[in-house]
Every structure is written in structure tokens, then in C-alpha cells.
């Protein structure tokens, strides 16, 4: 007879316990333990031909280190985020809000791969094959090498993979797949963990590039145990505002490339369209001659992006002023305000401060500090900056402006978009020759930058 076990799992880290805890002993998260009933059945599932491996341990010096050629997905922005293309045998997890465009992106990528001669298997556990065909008709994703299957059973999926022998496999989504050997419901911690381990063996054992679509929680994290992100090779987040047409694709984990890259798409009637010049997109609605508006040159991986920063300083009606920001760490905002008060003599203790990065982009690097300081000072003094100025630099606690990396690429991006002047750290001018078509002004302190930007 099958043996029934009751266990408790942490939804954050996957910690397993025979009893319930209010606080997870593994990751210290509160109220994250859930009860699941498992029925352990002895099966021959692991003896499937998919998992038969005859490889033997080898000395590391005898293993060839030749890099396998990456697969071109046909979408340059997706290739950029993945580190140059799809790695054969890799396991990729794509997460995002409902309706953001995950299935659309993967169906377009599947069609491009199928048109290049690869065999693609697209398995949907949420939509029927007819619904998938309707989306494919709208996107123009019609290729004889693109196979579609509606299936949730892991055993049936393994049989389909063995019979079809695809080069690229898409599972939409991992929360709908279940393994009959595990009695818990689809989407539970046990099911997600076991099914993901099966797909990992398929990807590594057969060399099939596999993409899993994952649901997200209301906090924006991928649903299921945190172990899910540790098992895969790459974790991508598809982000975007419902009121905007563009979407951002970011990598938070990538074993085959950088995690600093960002892909930008625009959603249209015929699917997702790549945005080749994101700086022009983010600056398309920028007002000119308005106090509190500056342009900062930020780096997203290897790509320079020019983004507008907007600051609003207004008198407060409350005992403690409000500090609100969108797209910037609010701790960084408080630090810059403290520097302006101490080093520049600005009295901001009775002023509300609001900061916004136009376009919904999030800027994490310290090179945006100088633009934040200039935006706040411009709004506080009601003095607009020059409309064709770009600035970047890190601000220290003593009011100095520190050097940042890739200054030459930032300057050339500003020149390409028609800006006339760049304000940057003085120490960032070493080691490269500025272009002749744009004025370069190096500053050492915040006071110097304000004197130049708000003259």
C-alpha cells in the first residue's frame, strides 16, 4: 500500500519539517509554512529512457572547455538579456504579472526558432491548442516546425518530448504541471519542486533548451518555493505598467551572462516590437524649460540609456515632511537631501520631496546621484536647467562628486541624441578623448555642478 505522509513546507525557501512553525527555521520568514499531504508510491518513472545516463566522472583537466554556440532566438533584446543567445541545455524561468506578455514573447521567439530550422515544442497548461492557434494567427507565428500541445501531466509531457525530440521546449506554466506520483495539488511546493527537477534533467540530459513560465505573487516574486529560482540557470522578469505600451525584460540570475542587461519591448496589436533606441523613447515626452527636470545618463548593462528625472519640492502641511520616489531607492533620496542641507545650506526640513523617473524605469546605480541633487535644487530654487544638458556622477557625503564607470559611452549616447553639454565628474575625464561635437564640463563638488547647471 502507498504510504501517506504529512509535511510542512516553507513557500519562501522550501524548508521541510514534520511539524508547523510560525517562523521558518530556514529563512526566518513568518507564516510561510504550508501543510501538504504526500503519497509515496514506488514507481519506475526514474527508469525512463529520458533519465538513463551512462556518463562517468572525468578529471576536470580532461574536459573540453569549448563554448557551445548559442542559439539565436531571432529577438535581439532577448538575446541581449540572455547574454548573447539561448544556451543549449539551459533551463530558463520567465516570470511576470498576468497579461504582461510572457506567452506572447515566448510564442514569437518559438516561431523565430522554428523558422530557422529548429524543432520547437510549445506546451500550454492554461490554454487549449485552439486558443494558442488564435494567438499565433494574430502574431503571424505559423511555422511547420512549431508543435503545440495542451497537457498538464508530467508523464505525458515526457512522452511528448521523447517522441517529438525538440530543440527548444516551452512550458506555460510550471504551476499547472503535476506529477501523478505526488498527491498534492498542482502549483503546490511539492509539485513545483518535483516537476522542475524533472525538466532540469530533461534539459541537461538531452541538451534541450527549456523555458518555464512562472506565476508571480502579489508582491511580484515568482510563486512557489525560493528553491525554484536556485534550480534554474536563468531567471527573467517581464515587467511593465498596464497603462504603458512598453515592457522591460530583466535578468535577476544568469549563469551564462550578465544580470545588468535590460531588454525593452513595445506592445502592439501584432505582438511585441523591439525598441532599438530606448533613450529616444524615454525622452519623447520630456518638457523643456521646467524646473526640477534633468536628464541622466545611466548604464543598463552594456547599454547607455538617457532617462528623465523629475523632482518636486513643495511646502509641507505636516509635522514631518514626506519623501516619496518612484524608480529610485528612497534611502538614496534621503541621503541626497541630507547632503544638500548640510553642504549647500538648503533648508528642506519643511519641504515635501517627490522624485520620479519618467517612463517607469528603475535606476539602481549611484551614477544618478548628481542628477537627483540637481533636480531637487532646481525645483527648490524654481530655476530650470538647460534643456540640452546631461549629467551623471556619484555624490559622496562630504559633497564631492565621484567618478563613475563607462563615462565615454554615456557621453557618446548623449551626443548621438543631440545634447549640447554634459556635466560629469572631473576624475571621469581621464583615459579617453571626449568627442568634439559636445561640450564636456568636469566638476569636483555638488556646488560646482549646481553653479554650472543652474547659472
Angle between helices 446-453 and 330-344 (to 10 degrees): 90
Spatial separation of the C-alpha atoms in residues 399 and 379, rounded to whole Å? 19
336 labeled part of a ligand binding site: no
Residues 6+ positions from 37 with CB-CB distance below 8 Å: 4, 5, 6, 183, 184
Mapped onto helix, strand or coil, the DSSP state of residue 227 is helix
Shortest CA distance to 419 belongs to which of 327, 308, 328? 308
C-alpha cell belonging to residue 340: 544638500
Residue 382: phi and psi, rounded to 5, are 55, 45
121-149: burial string, b at 16+ Cβ within 10 Å, e else:
bbbbbeeeeeebeebbeebebebebbbbb
Please count the residues of the chain. 455
352 labeled part of a ligand binding site: no
Asked if 192 contacts 215 with a C-beta cutoff of 8 angstroms, the reply is no
Q: Find the radius of gyration of the CA atoms of the chain.
A: 26
Mapped onto helix, strand or coil, the DSSP state of residue 249 is strand
Provide the Cα torsion 67, 71, 73, 79; round to 10°: 10
**Peptide bond preceding 173 in cis form (omega within 30 of 0):** yes
Q: How far apart are the first and last CA of the chain?
A: 84
C-alpha cell belonging to residue 284: 519623447
C-alpha cell belonging to residue 422: 554634459
Spatial separation of the C-alpha atoms in residues 278 and 293, rounded to whole Å? 18
96 labeled part of a ligand binding site: yes
Asked if 232 contacts 92 with a C-beta cutoff of 8 angstroms, the reply is yes
101 labeled part of a ligand binding site: yes
Q: Edge to edge, what strands does the sheet with 16-17 contain?
A: 16-17, 3-10, 33-40
224 labeled part of a ligand binding site: no
Shortest CA distance to 122 belongs to which of 159, 171, 157, 180? 171
Spatial separation of the C-alpha atoms in residues 86 and 237, rounded to whole Å? 16
Q: CA torsion sign, 428 to 297 to 415 to 453?
A: negative
418 labeled part of a ligand binding site: no
369 labeled part of a ligand binding site: no
Asked if 164 contacts 156 with a C-beta cutoff of 8 angstroms, the reply is no
102 labeled part of a ligand binding site: yes
Asked if 352 contacts 321 with a C-beta cutoff of 8 angstroms, the reply is yes
Where is the binding site, in residues?
96-103
Where is the binding site for ATP, in residues?
96-103
Amino acid at each position: 500500500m502507498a504510504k501517506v505522509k504529512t509535511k510542512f513546507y516553507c513557500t519562501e525557501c522550501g524548508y521541510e519539517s514534520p511539524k508547523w512553525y510560525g517562523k521558518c527555521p530556514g529563512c526566518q520568514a513568518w507564516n510561510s509554512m504550508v501543510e501538504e499531504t504526500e503519497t509515496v508510491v514506488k514507481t519506475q518513472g526514474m527508469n525512463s529512457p529520458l533519465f538513463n545516463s551512462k556518463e562517468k566522472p572525468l578529471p576536470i583537466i580532461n574536459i573540453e572547455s569549448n563554448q557551445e554556440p548559442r542559439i539565436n532566438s531571432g529577438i535581439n533584446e532577448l538575446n541581449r538579456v540572455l547574454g548573447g543567445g539561448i544556451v543549449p541545455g539551459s533551463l530558463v524561468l520567465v516570470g511576470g504579472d498576468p497579461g504582461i506578455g510572457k506567452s506572447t514573447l515566448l510564442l514569437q521567439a518559438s516561431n523565430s526558432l522554428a523558422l530557422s530550422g529548429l524543432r520547437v515544442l510549445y506546451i500550454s497548461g492554461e490554454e487549449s491548442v485552439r486558443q494558442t492557434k488564435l494567438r499565433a494567427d494574430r502574431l503571424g507565428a505559423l511555422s511547420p516546425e512549431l508543435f503545440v500541445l495542451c497537457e498538464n501531466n508530467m508523464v505525458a509531457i515526457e512522452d511528448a518530448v521523447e517522441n517529438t525530440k525538440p530543440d527548444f521546449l516551452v512550458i506555460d506554466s510550471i504551476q499547472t504541471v503535476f506529477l501523478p506520483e505526488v498527491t498534492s495539488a498542482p502549483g503546490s511546493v511539492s509539485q513545483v519542486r518535483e516537476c522542475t527537477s524533472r525538466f532540469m534533467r530533461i534539459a541537461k540530459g538531452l541538451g534541450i533548451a527549456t523555458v518555464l513560465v512562472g506565476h508571480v505573487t502579489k508582491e511580484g516574486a515568482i510563486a512557489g518555493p525560493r528553491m525554484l529560482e536556485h534550480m534554474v540557470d536563468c531567471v527573467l522578469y517581464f515587467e511593465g505598467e498596464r497603462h504603458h505600451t512598453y515592457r522591460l525584460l530583466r535578468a535577476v540570475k544568469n549563469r551564462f551572462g550578465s544580470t545588468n542587461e535590460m531588454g525593452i519591448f513595445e506592445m502592439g496589436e501584432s505582438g511585441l516590437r523591439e525598441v532599438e533606441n530606448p533613450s529616444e523613447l524615454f525622452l519623447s515626452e520630456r518638457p523643456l524649460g521646467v524646473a526640477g527636470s534633468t536628464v541622466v545618463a545611466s548604464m543598463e548593462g552594456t547599454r547607455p540609456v538617457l532617462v528623465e528625472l523629475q523632482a518636486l519640492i513643495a511646502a509641507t502641511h505636516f509635522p514631518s515632511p514626506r519623501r516619496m520616489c518612484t524608480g529610485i531607492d528612497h534611502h538614496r533620496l534621503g541621503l541626497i537631501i541630507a547632503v544638500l542641507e548640510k553642504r549647500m545650506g538648503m533648508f528642506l526640513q519643511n519641504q515635501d520631496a517627490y522624485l520620479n523617473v519618467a517612463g517607469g524605469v528603475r535606476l539602481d546605480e549611484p551614477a544618478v546621484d548628481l542628477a537627483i541633487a540637481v533636480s531637487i535644487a532646481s525645483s527648490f530654487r524654481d530655476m530650470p536647467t538647460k534643456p540640452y544638458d546631461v549629467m551623471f556622477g556619484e555624490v559622496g557625503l562630504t559633497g564631492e562628486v565621484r567618478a563613475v564607470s563607462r563615462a565615454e559611452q554615456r557621453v557618446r549616447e548623449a551626443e548621438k541624441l543631440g545634447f549640447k553639454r554634459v556635466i560629469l565628474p572631473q576624475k571621469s575625464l581621464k583615459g579617453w578623448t571626449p568627442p568634439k561635437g559636445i561640450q564636456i564640463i568636469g566638476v569636483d563638488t555638488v556646488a560646482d555642478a549646481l553653479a554650472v547647471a543652474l547659472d
